[in-house]
């Protein structure tokens, strides 16, 4: 991508997030994955990893303050559980997806070809890096506003007990990006009486079982199978 094309992308993204950076290089760094740095033999300091470290700390602080203020009826344990759901990789990746973050990332060729722009761990890390960059560029107040705005719907959903991670969507996005097809779910067993059935489901790509789960409905079992498949993917990325 040429310099002018990259500048156009950054301009578009700033319009999306409603924040204009005086330091364009800082924003560019927040959106640059280490795979791009390695491929182009650029200094490691130009990847988004240090900004990710900062953003992780800022998000944790802002979420804690918000929960403490908004939900005074919750005890310490309940606040901790709620916080862990909000700052989880999957929730932060969702926040990144809502911004179309994957389209603006600079990834290495291999990472791009294997669906990196849709990968949960990469999107979550990039969202944290973006928050770190906003904090350095615009300060605490603007960063707090941005975080609460992007996470408030999830916070309310988790608080009301409606927040369920949609692993099927995550896995489907990954498979479509990498293999250009949809995963197949197959019921392999149904056990128990009619009022209390247990379903066992496998999720399959090209004849290979990628995950298996059980539940009291086919939908629950499919979600668990997709969760297992996504967990394997993330573990392979981290190893």
For 156-220, the DSSP string reads HHHHTT-----HHHHHHHHHHHHHSS--EEEEEEEES-GGG-EEEEEEEETTEEEEEEEESSHHH
pLDDT at 22: 95
Q: What pLDDT is recorded for position 114? A: 82
Name the active-site residue from 28, 94, 111, 128: 128
pLDDT at residue 1, rounded to an integer: 61
**Distance from CA of residue 176 to its chain's centroid?**
17
* Coil/strand/helix, residue 32: strand
Q: Would you state the structure tokens that stand for residue 199, as one six-digit string? A: 């379903």
Active site residue 128: yes
Integer Cα distance of 70 and 79 in angstroms: 11
**What is the CATH code of the structural domain delimited by 167-238?**
3.30.160.20
Separation CA 175–CA 32 (nearest Å): 23
Q: According to CATH, what is the number of the domain 3-159?
A: 1.10.1520.10
The residue count of the chain comes to 239
pLDDT at position 126 is: 95
pTM: 0.68
Domain boundaries defined on the chain = 3-159, 167-238
Question: Residue 238: its pLDDT value, please?
Answer: 47
> How far is the C-alpha of 201 from the C-alpha of 182, rounded, in Å?
16
Q: What is the pLDDT of residue 239?
A: 46
- The pLDDT averaged over each successive group of 10 residues in the chain (239 residues) is 82 94 95 88 79 96 95 88 85 91 91 84 94 97 96 85 66 84 94 85 94 87 87 62
Catalytic residue, chosen from 28, 52, 56, 125, is 56
Closest by Cα among 46, 26, 59 to 131: 59
């Amino acid at each position: 991508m040429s310099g002018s094309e990259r500048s156009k992308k950054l301009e578009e993204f700033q319009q999306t997030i409603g924040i204009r950076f005086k330091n364009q290089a800082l924003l560019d760094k927040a959106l640059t994955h280490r795979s791009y740095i390695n491929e182009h033999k650029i200094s490691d300091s130009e990847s988004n990893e240090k900004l990710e470290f900062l953003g992780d700390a800022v998000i944790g602080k802002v979420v804690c303050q918000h929960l403490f203020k908004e939900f005074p009826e919750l005890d310490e344990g309940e606040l901790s559980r709620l916080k862990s759901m909000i700052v989880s990789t999957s929730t932060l990746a969702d926040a990144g997806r809502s911004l179309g973050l994957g389209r603006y990332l600079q990834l290495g060729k291999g990472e791009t070809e294997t669906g990196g722009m849709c990968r949960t761990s990469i999107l979550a890390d990039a969202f944290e890096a973006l928050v770190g960059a906003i904090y350095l560029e615009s300060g605490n107040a603007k960063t707090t506003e941005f975080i609460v705005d992007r996470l408030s719907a999830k916070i309310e959903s988790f608080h009301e007990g409606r927040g369920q991670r949609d692993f099927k969507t995550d896995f489907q996005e990954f498979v479509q990006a990498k293999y250009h097809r949809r995963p197949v779910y197959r019921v392999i067993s149904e056990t128990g009486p009619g009022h209390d059935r247990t379903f066992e489901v496998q999720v399959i790509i090209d004849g290979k079982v990628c995950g298996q789960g059980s539940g009291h409905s086919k939908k629950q079992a499919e979600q668990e199978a997709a969760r297992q498949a996504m967990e394997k993917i993330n573990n392979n990325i981290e190893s």
